[in-house]
Amino acid sequence: MDVYSKTPTKITQLQSEVESGGMKKTKNKVDLIPKPPEKITLSGHRSPVTFVTFHPRFSYLASCSEDATIKVYDWETGELEKTLKGHTKAVHCIDFDPKGDLIASCSSDLTIKIWDMNDDYNCIKTLYGHDHSVSSIKFYSGGEMIASASRDKAIKLWEISTGFCGHSQWIRSLSISEDNKYLASCSSDQTIKIWDILTGECKNEAKGHEHVIEQVCFLPSTSHTFIKSLCQLKKIEGPLLVSASRDKSIKLFDGLSGQCIYTFNGHDNWVRGVAVQPMGKYLLSVSDDKSLRVWDLESGKCVKHFEAHSHFVTCIAIHPSAPLVATGSVDQKVCVWESR
């Protein structure tokens, strides 16, 4: 189905909902945090859910799984829009391009696939080059480029139009800074590396975790005011990032110095995923302790936590404009939570 084949009324409605936050406006959006019960539970996967992400414009949510499929849902109605089949092994990560036309996916089958939502979700390109499971993928540079990370210890940068791979260094999870200048990667070797995307130079290495780092995430610039208060900093000159680790902790790093400037403790098991709300005040984390935790970046305190799934929670995503959060789990379900 063409994503833009929806009736003009529906498109206008969806755009209006996203632009207005998708819900009734509150007086202070910065204080919105996810609260139970879940808004909707999405079923259909036959194995653990490995990643979830929201469409940047419309009310779609995509998830991928160890069952080798990608599913696209309408998070308002709960309807399954499409199941994408093509990978032959577990799919580990997915990402929408900024316009919301394409989906990129990566898998243990060593491939990266590009799917066109406007062409009935057909796979229009398959990229080969990694020698082991591809674990993370991100669009950048306006959607013209993709960064991928693999268990073969390589980071590769690809041109979407040609499939050309122009860089190889070293991994487990990737994050791109909001100015598209830096790429952060984390590894099973318990380190985080910060790379200059243009030159490929490793600018710094951050250490501090005592176990495998599951995910790394750059903080939006909106969080800097809160971090200055938390860490008593006069100014922040470079990017900040947070990491989730199997050592049960979340760490906040200065990207320029590689120094750990704060540690969040509270989870009782591996921390699998982290995300920061667009307004910058709250950090969200999910864990094998089955919980979702909300951390105030101004005080450093956990201000909310609840059981999100009946099994390990593997991933989390925050909608870019609507007050919604999605989580995925080994229980094979995706849950959508309303922030209020």
pLDDT tens for the 340 residues of the chain, in order = 555 554 333 333 434 544 454 444 444 777 899 999 999 999 999 999 999 999 999 999 999 999 999 999 999 999 999 999 999 999 999 999 999 999 999 999 999 999 999 999 999 999 999 999 999 999 998 999 999 999 998 899 999 887 766 545 447 899 999 999 999 999 889 999 999 998 888 999 999 999 999 999 999 999 999 999 999 999 998 899 999 999 999 999 999 899 999 999 999 999 999 999 999 999 999 999 999 999 999 999 999 999 999 999 999 999 999 999 999 999 999 999 999 9
Helix (H) or strand (E) holding 196: strand 191-196
Q: Are 205 and 193 in contact (CB under 8 A)?
A: yes
d(CA 111, CA 93): 12
d(CA 86, CA 169): 27
SS3 label, residue 297: coil
Helix (H) and strand (E) counts for the chain?
Answer: 2, 28
Give the angle subtended at the CA of 176 by the CAs of 81 and 98, to the nearest 5°.
35
d(CA 58, CA 65): 22
Q: Say how many domains are in the chain.
A: 1
Q: Which domain holds residue 212?
A: 3-338
Name the residue with tokens 């929408």. Answer: 96
Least Cα distance to 189 among 210, 206, 168, 212 occurs for: 212
Residue type, 58: F
* pLDDT computed for residue 16 by the predictor: 53
Least Cα distance to 104 among 153, 149, 59 occurs for: 149
In this prediction the pTM is 0.90
Q: Are 26 and 11 in contact (CB under 8 A)?
A: no
Which pair of structure tokens corresponds to residue 63? 């998830």
Sheet holding 213-218, edge to edge: 213-218, 240-245, 249-254, 260-265
d(CA 141, CA 338): 30
CATH number of the CATH domain containing 305: 2.130.10.10
Q: Are 297 and 307 in contact (CB under 8 A)?
A: no
The DSSP secondary-structure symbol of 5 reads G
Hey, which residues does 260 pair with through a beta bridge?
253
pLDDT one-digit tens code per residue, 79-95:
999 999 999 999 999 99
* pLDDT computed for residue 274 by the predictor: 99
pLDDT one-digit tens code per residue, 203-235:
999 999 999 999 999 999 999 999 999 999 999
For 98-144, where are the E strands, in sequence order? 102-107, 111-116, 122-128, 134-140
d(CA 125, CA 339): 37
* pLDDT computed for residue 2 by the predictor: 57
